[in-house]
């Protein structure tokens, strides 16, 4: 399998933290036509998550969701916009992957929505309820990265360990994203 390491980031859970972010992000202007909202337009891309450190329980019965976030700053944080989250097991009123499903080597995929998939056609829906300046800022978001969200996180519910490598791929068969989209730093495994 060939991976383009320019499109790969790591993110790990932090006990008691509902949402964790990677230390870096993908720069969507790096190698494309300079318009971040066109990233993936015309061709479906996926965020592939590979568990590199098995998830273990600190307390309770935590669940994990994995997502794709964008921001206008290179450091993703609580102000970032989440474009999509994975599903998983339904436990009570919460959805996510259980620790037993997140063993080392487990791989799963999440389609990265194109910006037009995120924008609502109805003026009363998000993000059209925001100001024109906010919409302009949304269209200018050039940094993307993976997140881990523990929807039922609390002082008594959380993971002790767990980490994933997330990478942008062209299809779920495992082919790397087109090398001309990002500078090539490929390695054959």
Supply the DSSP string of 130-185, one letter for each residue: S-HHHHHHHHT--EEEEEEE-TT-BTTBEEEEEEEEEEEESSTT-PBPPTTTS---
Whether residue 48 lies inside any domain: the answer is yes
Its domain, for residue 27, covers 2-171
- What is the pLDDT, as a whole number, of residue 41? 57
pLDDT of 150-161, one tens digit each? Answer: 999 888 899 999
Whether residue 149 lies inside any domain: the answer is yes
pLDDT of 45-78, one tens digit each? Answer: 889 999 999 999 999 999 999 999 988 889 999 9
Whether residue 81 has pLDDT greater than 60: yes
Whether residue 147 lies inside any domain: the answer is yes
Whether residue 10 has pLDDT greater than 90: yes
0.75 exceeded by pTM: yes
- Work out how many domains the chain is built from and give that number: 1
Of the two residues 83 and 50, the one the predictor is more confident about is 50
- The enclosing domain of 83 has a CATH number of 2.60.120.1110
Whether residue 188 lies inside any domain: the answer is no
Q: Please state the rounded mean pLDDT for residues 77-81.
A: 88
């Amino acid at each position: 399998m060939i991976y383009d390491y320019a499109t790969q980031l790591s993110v790990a859970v932090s006990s008691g933290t509902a949402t964790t972010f990677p230390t870096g992000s993908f720069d969507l202007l790096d190698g494309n036509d300079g318009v971040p909202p066109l990233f993936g337009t015309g061709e479906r891309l996926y965020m592939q998550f590979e568990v590199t450190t098995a998830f273990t329980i600190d307390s309770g019965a935590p669940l994990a969701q994995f997502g794709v976030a964008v921001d206008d700053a290179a450091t993703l944080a609580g102000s970032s916009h989440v474009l999509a989250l994975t599903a998983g097991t339904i436990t009570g009123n919460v959805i996510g992957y259980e620790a037993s499903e997140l063993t080392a080597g487990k791989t799963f995929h999440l389609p990265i929505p194109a910006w037009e998939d995120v924008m609502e056609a109805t003026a009363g829906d998000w993000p059209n309820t925001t100001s024109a300046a906010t919409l302009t800022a949304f269209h200018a978001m050039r940094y993307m990265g993976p997140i881990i969200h523990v929807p039922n996180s609390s002082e008594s519910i959380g993971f002790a360990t767990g980490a994933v490598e997330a990478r942008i791929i062209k299809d779920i068969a495992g082919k790397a994203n087109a090398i001309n989209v990002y500078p090539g730093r490929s390695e054959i495994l």
